[in-house]
């Protein structure tokens, strides 16, 4: 399998692990238990810093290449860039609310839960759709040279939570994910 596709799939596995941590937090919050604002904020912040900046633009470029090789399949994938923009907006909205709550501002519990659920549900649906149709369609239609061109144009950093050069800022988040075995296997 092409290295770029492996990278995108690994990103999905990693993002899904974080989404499961997010879901645990949100479910506890919905059950009127306390929530760890730092973990929630760090996951949303990670999504703004890595998937929104590097993973999604790379997928957009893969889709452009797919369009030139199999326009019907690309049509079926739909408007990924618009979906990515919508996810970024929902992530941003949730991040703003949870940051305010963490900083002591009074935010209605329902509002936090609604924003958290919208982010979580749409992210999970989006990843599942890409895994089921987009990635297999790209794998089938793109040629070796296409993947090489994508790879040569790729200038993203390693993942700040799961990569070789984990950022200090995300140390706690990495620990949260890695210390629970139920979260270490792919979704």
- Interface residues toward Fe ion, by CB under 5 A: 130
Residue nearest Fe ion (C-beta atom) = 130
Which of 12/112 has CB closer to Fe ion? 12
The tokens of 175 are what? 């620990």
Minimum CB separation from Fe ion for residue 144, in Å? Answer: 22
Q: Rounded to 5 degrees, what angle do the CA atoms 89, 93, 95 make? A: 115
The tokens of 140 are what? 């089938």
Minimum CB separation from Fe ion for residue 130, in Å? Answer: 5
In angstroms, the Cα distances linking 89 to 92, 95, 122 are 5, 10, 11
Which of 90/130 has CB closer to Fe ion? 130
Q: How far is 92 from 154, CA to CA, in rounded Å?
A: 25
Minimum CB separation from Fe ion for residue 157, in Å? Answer: 17
Q: How far is 85 from 66, CA to CA, in rounded Å?
A: 20
Which of 84/97 has CB closer to Fe ion? 84
The tokens of 37 are what? 């604002």
Minimum CB separation from Fe ion for residue 181, in Å? Answer: 25
Which of 31/82 has CB closer to Fe ion? 82
């Amino acid at each position: 399998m092409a290295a770029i596709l492996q990278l995108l799939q690994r990103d999905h596995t990693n993002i899904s692990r974080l989404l499961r941590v997010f879901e645990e937090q949100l479910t506890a919050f919905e059950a009127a238990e306390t929530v760890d604002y730092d973990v929630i904020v760090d996951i949303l912040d990670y999504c703004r810093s890595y998937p929104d900046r590097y993973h999604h633009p790379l997928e957009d470029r893969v889709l452009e290449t797919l369009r030139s090789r199999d326009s019907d399949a690309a049509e079926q994938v739909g408007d990924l860039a618009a979906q990515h923009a919508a996810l970024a907006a929902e992530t941003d909205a949730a991040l703003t609310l949870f940051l305010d709550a963490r900083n002591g501002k009074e935010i209605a519990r329902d509002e936090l839960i609604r924003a958290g659920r919208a982010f979580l549900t749409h992210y999970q649906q989006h990843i599942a759709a890409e895994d089921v149709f987009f990635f297999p369609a790209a794998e089938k239609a793109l040629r070796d040279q296409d993947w090489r061109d994508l790879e040569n144009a790729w200038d993203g950093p390693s993942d700040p939570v799961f990569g070789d050069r984990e950022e200090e800022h995300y140390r706690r988040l990495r620990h949260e994910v890695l210390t629970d075995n139920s979260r270490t296997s792919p979704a």
